[in-house]
Amino acid sequence: MISRLYAFKKRRFLHRGLRNIQVNRIPFNALQIFVEVARAGNLSRAAEAMHLTVSALSHQIRALEARLDHQLLVRGPRGVTLSAEGQCLFDAISQQFDAIEQAVDNICRRHGDTLTVSLMPSVASSWLVPRLPRFVARHPQIELSLQSSTQLVDFAREGVDCALRFGRGEWPGVRADFLFEEWLTPVASPDLLARIGRPRLSDLGSFPLLGDPGERWSTWFEHFGGKAPRRFVANFSDSDTVHRAALEGIGIALGRMTMARPLIDAGRLVALSKKRLRAEYAHWFVQPPRSEAHPGVQAFRSWLLAEAGVSGGPMPAERS
């Protein structure tokens, strides 16, 4: 009974809108803002995504509600939700906006000679950028745009063609090609070692250690012996800051070799052991289904796999 009543109300709302409202006089921008707010569930997040002030965004929503003579959003302490009429409107137009965005995106790709890649800042600066001159020399016609972020890209909502990710390779809705492992080893600055001396592995726990965001020190000591300290000099939530702290001589870090290798080669960090601990995660190249036909993405993929020395596809059986 309730579902039939809702369906009747939905049809009545649409019919009334078509009958009494000149749809072509409703600002397209107001509908776009409404869809963005409905998806975000929060005025501040929607305003930030659309590069508007919250005040300007709220004004557009109120004007749209007045034009339709219906409340579309229900304001609450934790954000906004859709009213019955708002849900009806959202269901009717959101897919059309997706189709418009996709069509514009396809036109702007200029037949595959532009390429937008999302990746973590650490991978960009330590691994990809030093190798990029070879890609540019081989494919001078491709305009490359790197977007550095620690957040996973939403291929459905963002204009990104492919990404380099750090994880298990099990992301839904994308193709993931294994690139290379990540390995961990203790590293310290030369200045710190000059002050405290170079520790033996068995005594490592008694030296100033920097807390690892993945709490992998305990795994290190389980594999290679020694005793974990009762406390760390400092704890960090991301690997970039850990390596920066090691460079400043604050303590010994469990360095990720992708990030630490260039610093070791430059003499700014010292590897304290030849032993390596394989990280739980690995590096992957990922692309959404729509990029399968993108010439620039496929050229970039082939080049990446060659640089990594792998043939692509899933993680090798001995690693999984």
| 79 plus 167 within the same structural domain | no
Say whether pLDDT at 9 is over 80: no
In this model, does residue 44 exceed pLDDT 60? Answer: yes
pLDDT at 25: 67
* 3-state DSSP percent of the chain in helix, strand and coil, to 5: 50, 20, 30
pLDDT surpassing 70 at residue 159? yes
Model confidence over 281-315: pLDDT tens digits? 999 999 999 999 899 999 999 999 999 986 555 65
Of 69, 85, 108, the residue that ends a domain is 108
Per the CB < 8 A criterion, the answer to whether 183 and 308 are in contact is no
Q: What are phi and psi of 318, to 5 degrees?
A: -75, -15
213 shares a domain with 80: no
Tokens of residue 320, six digits: 């999984």
pLDDT of residue 27: 77
CA-CA distance, 186 to 254, in Å (whole number)? 4
CA distance linking residue 115 with residue 121, whole number of Å? 17
In this structure, the answer to whether residues 43 and 75 fall within a common structural domain is: yes
Instruction: Tell me what the mean pLDDT of segment 23-52 comes to.
Output: 83
> What's the rounded mean pLDDT across residues 251-271?
95
What CATH number has the domain bearing residue 46?
A: 1.10.10.10
What is the per-residue pLDDT for 54?
A: 87
Is the domain of 127 the same as that of 250?
Answer: yes
pLDDT of 192: 96
pLDDT band at 106 (very low <50, low <70, confident <90, very high): low
Does residue 128 sit in the same domain as residue 103? no
Predicted confidence at residue 70, as pLDDT, reads 87
The number of folded domains in the chain is 2
Neighbours of 7 (CB within 10 A): 10
Q: Which of 86, 78, 84 is nearest to 61 (CA)?
A: 86
Same structural domain for residues 134 and 186? yes
Q: Which two tokens mark 188?
A: 């310290």
**Same domain membership, residue 137 and residue 170:** yes
Please state, in angstroms and rounded to a whole number, the distance separating the CA atoms of residues 82 and 88: 9
The pLDDT of 144-171, averaged and rounded, is 91
Highest mean pLDDT of the ranges 94-98, 190-194, 288-292:
190-194
Contact 150, 166 (CB under 8 A): no
Structure tokens that stand for 115 in this block: 């390429």
Give the pLDDT of residue 270.
Answer: 97
Question: What range defines the domain where residue 15 resides?
Answer: 2-108
Which pLDDT score, from 0 to 100, does residue 157 have? 82
- Tell me: do 78 and 181 sit in the same domain: no
Helices (H), the chain: 2-20, 28-40, 43-49, 54-68, 84-108, 121-123, 132-138, 190-196, 217-224, 239-247, 257-265, 295-308
CATH number at residue 179: 3.40.190.290
pLDDT digits (tens, 9 = 90+) for 50-79: 888 988 888 889 988 888 888 999 988 888
Amino acid type, 159: G
Instruction: Please tell me the predicted confidence (pLDDT) of residue 131.
Output: 94
Task: Report the alpha-carbon distance of residue 200 to residue 209 in Å, rounded.
Answer: 13
Q: Are residues 250 and 130 part of one domain?
A: yes
| Mean pLDDT computed over every residue of the chain | 85
Q: Which carries the bigger pLDDT value, residue 285 or residue 10?
A: 285
Residues 151 and 291 in one domain: yes
Residue at which a domain ends, from 108, 133, 164:
108
pLDDT at res. 14: 46
Q: Are residues 220 and 138 in the same domain?
A: yes
Q: CB pairs under 8 A, 24+ apart, for 57-61?
A: 57/33, 60/27, 60/29, 60/30, 60/33, 60/34, 61/30, 61/33, 61/34, 61/37
Does the structure show a pLDDT above 70 at 317? Answer: no
Give the mean model confidence (pLDDT) for residues 170-182.
Answer: 94
Task: In whole angstroms, give the CA distance from residue 269 to residue 189.
Answer: 5
Would the pLDDT of 113 be above 70?
A: yes
Of 45, 80, 108, the residue that ends a domain is 108
Count the Cβ atoms, other than its own, within 10 Å of residue 31.
19
List pLDDT tens digits, range 200-259. Answer: 988 998 999 999 887 899 999 999 998 888 899 999 888 889 999 999 999 999 999 999
Per the model's pLDDT, the better-predicted residue between 31 and 185 turns out to be: 185
Residues 160 and 90 in one domain: no
Q: Measured between alpha carbons, how far is 209 from 231 in angstroms, rounded to an integer? A: 8
